[in-house]
């Protein structure tokens, strides 16, 4: 995994010193409202990322703006039975909402996947009620590719951007 920059942001792999940032962001129910929340405690999830036996083999970044932690990003193989490929995942600290960082993060990770990794496509799954994310993804070139109903009755949209 490598680090990279966009206009305002630095994407770098997490270090053990980032645990409080990770736990604060992904432990915030307002942030994770539209995300799948791990069944394990969030700090355990973070620590497993540094154990060679459980470390994920996909790209995961802490995202920084001028030395301040502003978000989390991933480009991971999709675990979903409906979609094959690599999925964009991102979250932003509430204090940074409304400044266009979501667009910059999603665009940066998407370009990293398509240009640096040479993927044919990057996809995202999103709840249709999460109108801000649906708008953001469409704005940066994602198109609707389908939908399905989850076991809990909720609908998931599948959006894709190709190279």
pLDDT, tens digit (0-9, with 9 covering 90-100), for 49-74:
877 777 887 889 999 999 999 999 99
Q: What does each C-alpha distance from 31 to 56, 59, 89, 118, 127 come to in angstroms?
A: 22, 20, 12, 30, 14
Q: What is the pLDDT of residues 77-114, one digit of tens each?
A: 886 666 778 999 999 999 999 999 999 999 999 999 99
Distance CA 121, CA 113 (A): 8
For residue 40 the two structure tokens come to 């394990």
Distance CA 157, CA 146 (A): 6
Q: For the whole model, what pTM was predicted?
A: 0.90
Calculate mean pLDDT across residues 16-32: 92
DSSP reduced 3-state for 104: helix
Beta bridge mates, 155 = 149
CATH numbers and ranges of domains, the chain: 4-119 (3.40.630.30)
Q: Across all residues in the chain, what is the average pLDDT?
A: 90
């Amino acid at each position: 995994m490598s680090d990279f920059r966009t206009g305002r942001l630095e994407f770098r792999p997490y270090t053990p010193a980032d645990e409080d940032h990770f736990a604060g962001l992904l432990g915030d129910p307002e942030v994770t409202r539209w995300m799948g929340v791990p069944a394990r405690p969030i700090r355990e999830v973070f620590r497993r990322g540094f154990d060679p036996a459980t470390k994920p083999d996909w790209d995961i970044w802490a995202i920084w703006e001028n030395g301040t932690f502003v978000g989390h990003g991933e480009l991971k193989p999709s675990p979903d039975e409906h979609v094959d490929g690599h999925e964009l995942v991102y979250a932003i600290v509430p204090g940074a909402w409304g400044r266009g960082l979501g667009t910059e993060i999603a665009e940066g990770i998407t370009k990293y996947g398509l240009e640096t990794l040479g993927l044919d496509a990057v996809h995202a799954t999103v709840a249709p009620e999460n109108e801000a994310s649906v708008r953001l993804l469409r704005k940066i070139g994602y198109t609707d590719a389908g939908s399905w109903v989850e076991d809990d009755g909720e609908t998931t949209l599948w959006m894709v951007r190709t190279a």
